[in-house]
Amino acid sequence: MVKQTIQIFARVKPTVRKQQQGIYSIDEDEKLTPSLEIILPRDLADGFVNNKRESYKFKFQKIFDQGANQETIFESIAKPVAESVLAGYNGTIFAYGQTGSGKTFTITGGAERYSDRGIIPRTLSYIFEQLQKDSSTIHTTHISYLEIYNECGYDLLDPRHEASSLEDLPKVTILEDPDQNIHLKNLSLHQAATEEEALNLLFLGDTNRMIAETPMNQASTRSHCIFTIHLSSKEPGSATVRHAKLHLVDLAGSERVAKTGVGGQLLTEAKYINLSLHYLEQVIIALSEKHRAHIPYRNSMMTSVLRDSLGGNCMTTMIATLSLEKRNIDESISTCRFAQRVALIKNEAVLNEEIDPRLMIIRLQKEIQELKDELAVVTGEQRTEVLTDAELLQLEKLITSFLEDQDPESRLDVGTDMRKIHHCFHHLKKLLNDKKIHGKSTVSSEIKDQDCQEPLKEEEYQKLRDILQQRDNEINILVNMLKKEKKKAQDALHLSSMGSSEWRHSQSSPLPPGNSEGVRTLPSSATTQVQDVSTVGHRSSLLHRKTGMREEMSLGRQEAFEIFKRDHADSITIEDNKQILKQRFSEAKALGESINETRSKIGRLKEEITQRHMQQVALGLSENTALPSMSDSLEEKLRSQLEEEKRRYKIMFMRLKALKVEIEHLQLLMDKAKVKLQKEFEAWWTEEATNLQVNSPATNSLNHMRPFPQTPESQQERSQLVANRSDVNTRKILPSPHPIPQSWGHNSTSASLESSISERPASSIPLTGDSQTDSDILAFIKARQSILQKKCFQ
Ligand code: ADP
Ligand code: MG
């Protein structure tokens, strides 16, 4: 049993503006426990509800300042928890903080760069790597992904449902057994044999989460998400199974109701969410106070699900995410206060071992049989029934193979049944007597043969040598035939892979099954390849499902989508990722080629070594000497070359594997971005359609037609623009460094405008500051919109 308090860490999100940086400081040296000091600016201190203190200090296990990257967070926070999960203990990591402070970024990761991947993908990668290294144990991994919104649980991984809103997902409910263990009814568990399969599940869950979210229910900030990795392990032959669970929890935003200040449905949501976090707080308070008999776990779904993680059988870690800007100071202080309470809670983690009943039955049955046999021998109690014909035949077969076995150590094992033992003695006696009578002469001649081994005569020697030569020839012919067959198979494989556009096909297995000895010991990719194809199919079908509506689009709508896509802030990320992907593809392709070359080299070297060996043997035979001396320098050189090539092969193979994971991840990011884009387009489109129905298209179109990029940065840019300019009609136009070509808008016909749209660089429409040009731009936009509208309503 391991007793441990919940570990608390703080992570400060990078701030955009410099002047915000004076409001906190980190003291790393304070007797090894670092502390975070939040300094309240004077103007805020006056109005601050609780008191007028000007600074607050909070201790944390470790504090990660703005510069900390995802790798550091994983190494310091998640890796130790993953290690204890691999050792058989339960683990939980949860992120707590206000909306926008970086909980999702920390737990799942950013949606743009591979290096931004968060704790979940990194932990999966680490766990699968470790499991692969440990071949002495049999492991199984399952994944579940639960979202709790408004006190209802939803299964994010249900394959049967196509979610367009949360309510479409299967509802998960809590069941409690007589031992007060919690069971989640309807939460599906999915086996993941590889990192890739687990990543696909994460992607599926995240996509469902995103799709189910509507602007009215910003579920991502108001719901809790629990991604769970379930690990079971067993030593071969042992009946003991170890189970461990790792919960990775992205909690809802911790902001208070009072500040939310919204009405109607949003208020209900805010109340709920805060209720749920409020219950979490109550549980934490109850746990941190000594001698509290009742802990109110049952008050909310989330505390019920995380019951073991809080004050139970689990190693738990909390990450307090902080966005330390002036306007967030009170929320940051309340996040830190919550963390300090959490740090008082003690958990007791135990190894979760249980006996597999099926294996136990088999083991006990065997033991009973052995004991019965032993008892029969000890008590001398004979079985009365005679042996059947089949049993007798079986025994005789055993005796024959025992007698024929040349191994002096071989045993005649018939168990402890005395009837069988007696029968064996009888049978052996019979055999011996038969031999004495009939085979006297033969036995003596055999002995004579063995005793006097004369040197071989010249002709016999010649005969043997001829036979050897014949056999060698036969072997060579067979080897050649085999090589030809292999080459044919490889060529076919190569051809089919060349024809496919997917890299995963073209990389092809560098190790055809049944390859020669040295290569066979390297990790085989044949199975992963099959896997790849299936997961790709799975992912693309998912994407197809999620974006399926596009196929039914009218031409105009498609065009609008193209423009929306081009102008969307995410398009740069998608483009960047595409470029990186391209690079990785070509890197992987080059690597695949080098691997193939090295493999052929290995093959050639092996062949040379075999030939050399055969030559040496033949030489030895022809000179009638013993085996050639061991130190054949040429052969040794060849062998060391072979080892070197094998090493190179292994290194390249590992690199290719890593590349594959990266490519897979990038593809998932891109798929996710595409789904997001499509969803935003649909929302924009619906809004546009409604607006156009309400207002006359000619007068009102300008305010709605420009698709809006959704990033905070662009929003900021936009508000700055609004502040700078009084012209209301320019609100939705982004500044850009590119000047606009004069031809745009000047006396242009619709047709030439249309072509200029398609020729225009993929950036936003710029403002020049010159009022004449600006009004040209506006004219251009109007024209562009009427083209779009025409197409939309065709
Ligand atoms: P939350 O889940 O707490 O509401 P998010 O994780 O969605 O917050 O973060 C809000 C935004 O800030 C996202 O755009 C995210 O990419 C960005 N962000 C958060 N933390 C970091 C960080 N440490 N480094 C860079 N960007 C971050
Ligand atoms: Mg979030």
Ligand nearest to the CA of 323: 1
- Asked if residue 205 belongs to a known ligand binding site, the reply is no
**CA distances in angstroms from 230 to 88, 124, 444, listed in the order given:** 10, 11, 71
Average of per-residue pLDDT across 667-692: 82
The pLDDT value recorded for residue 333 is 92
Domain assignment present for residue 330? The answer is yes
Q: What's the CATH code of the domain at 58?
A: 3.40.850.10
Mean pLDDT lowest among 516-530, 697-711, 772-786? 516-530
Domain assignment present for residue 29? The answer is yes
**CA distances in angstroms from 157 to 185, 431, 557, 615, listed in the order given:** 14, 70, 31, 63
Q: Which residue has the tokens 């061991």?
A: 630
How many folded domains does the chain comprise?
Answer: 2
Mean pLDDT lowest among 219-233, 300-314, 332-346, 606-620? 606-620
Atom of ligand 1 nearest to the CA of 102: 6
287-296, 638-647, 672-681, 738-747: range with highest mean pLDDT:
638-647
Distance 223 CA to ligand 2 centre (A): 9
Residue 434 has pLDDT above 50, yes or no: yes
The residue that leads in pLDDT, 32 or 81, is: 81
Atom of ligand 1 nearest to the CA of 111: 16
Residue 567 has pLDDT above 50, yes or no: yes
433, two tokens = 């007597």
Confidence of residue 699 (pLDDT cuts 50, 70, 90): very low
The residue that leads in pLDDT, 593 or 688, is: 593
- Asked if residue 98 belongs to a known ligand binding site, the reply is yes
What is d(CA 130, CA 141) in angstroms, rounded to the nearest whole number? Answer: 12
Average of per-residue pLDDT across 331-335: 92
Confidence of residue 527 (pLDDT cuts 50, 70, 90): very low
CA atoms within 13 A on the CB side of 742: 0
Residue 539 has pLDDT above 70, yes or no: no
Q: Using only C-alpha atoms, what is the Rg of the chain? A: 37
Convert the pLDDT of each residue in 494-505 to its tens digit. Answer: 665 554 433 333
Atom of ligand 1 nearest to the CA of 66: 23
The residue type of 587 is: E
Distance 106 CA to ligand 1 centre (A): 8
The pLDDT value recorded for residue 69 is 96
DSSP letter string over 405-467? Answer: ---TT-----TT-HHHHHHHHHHHHHHHHHHHHH-HHHHHHHHHHHH--PPPPHHHHHHHHHH
Domain assignment present for residue 35? The answer is yes
Distance 32 CA to ligand 1 centre (A): 28
Please say whether the beta carbons of 284 and 338 come within 8 A.
Answer: yes
The residue that leads in pLDDT, 100 or 787, is: 100
Mean pLDDT lowest among 143-152, 257-266, 412-421? 257-266
Distance 653 CA to ligand 2 centre (A): 37
The residue that leads in pLDDT, 790 or 123, is: 123
Lining ligand 1 with CB less than 6 A are 13-14, 97, 99-105, 110, 221, 253, 321
Domain assignment present for residue 361? The answer is no
Interior/surface letters 476-503, b for 16+ CB within 10 angstroms, e for the rest: eeeeeeeeeeeeeebeeeeeebeeeeeb
The pLDDT value recorded for residue 554 is 65
Atom 20, ligand 1: which residue's CA is nearest?
102
Atom of ligand 1 nearest to the CA of 95: 3
Distance 535 CA to ligand 2 centre (A): 27
Range of the domain at 680: 563-621+635-687
- Asked if residue 264 belongs to a known ligand binding site, the reply is no
Average of per-residue pLDDT across 451-476: 71
Average of per-residue pLDDT across 736-764: 37
Last residue of a domain, one of 356, 379, 405: 356
Last residue of a domain, one of 335, 356, 377: 356
Q: Which is nearest to 223 in space by CA: 259, 176, 169, 263?
A: 169
Last residue of a domain, one of 643, 672, 687: 687
The pLDDT value recorded for residue 477 is 63
The residue that leads in pLDDT, 618 or 400, is: 400
What is d(CA 223, CA 220) in angstroms, rounded to the nearest whole number? Answer: 6
What's the whole-number average pLDDT of the chain? Answer: 74
Distance 643 CA to ligand 1 centre (A): 48
Domain assignment present for residue 728? The answer is no
Domain assignment present for residue 9? The answer is yes
- Asked if residue 701 belongs to a known ligand binding site, the reply is no
5-19, 105-119, 654-668: range with highest mean pLDDT:
105-119
Pocket test for ligand 1, best of 13, 116, 328 (most atoms within 8 A of CB): 13
pLDDT more than 70, % of the chain = 67
Domain assignment present for residue 447? The answer is no
Atom 23, ligand 1: which residue's CA is nearest?
13
Atom 17, ligand 1: which residue's CA is nearest?
102
Domain assignment present for residue 451? The answer is no
Residue 754 has pLDDT above 80, yes or no: no
